Structure 1
Amino acid sequence: MVRPPEAAAFLVRAWYEDGQLRARITYLVEPGSGPHAQVTTADPAEVHRHLAEWLHAAGRATDDHDR
């Protein structure tokens, strides 16, 4: 029997502080577990990198459930 993938969440909260963009990134791959990453950054490229890593990890978690 194939189980459906677990829920996953990626949250970015962004704001301006001292004239610079700041972003707080929190993401979870498995419900009930602690955040896999929680960082504060002023670099939009870092937000993009974390999102790409999260999508990769979420896809890997989904693939594991298909086996």
Structure 2
Amino acid sequence: MALSIVASPFDAVFTAASSVNRAFFAFCDSFYRALEAKTLYAELANMSDEQLAVRGLKREEVSQAVFAKVYDAR
């Protein structure tokens, strides 16, 4: 004997809405991180080599430092 499970239309709508909600929040998180990276990179790129040295950075390490702070930290 085969069992069949029939989902109600409400379940289907709820599942679809949940999926859209997760996708929207994932998009917002990605967008926020990109904006944060852009802002931090611009801030560090405009610093002098001496200012970067105070932070323990060299100019060629700026992009790696930004990536580590924005993307690896979460």
Q: TM-score, normalised by structure 1?
A: 0.36
Which of 1 and 2 has greater Rg? 2
Higher-helix-fraction structure: 2
Q: Which has the higher contact order (CA 8 A, sep 6+)?
A: 1
Q: TM-score, normalised by structure 2?
A: 0.33
Higher-strand-fraction structure: 1
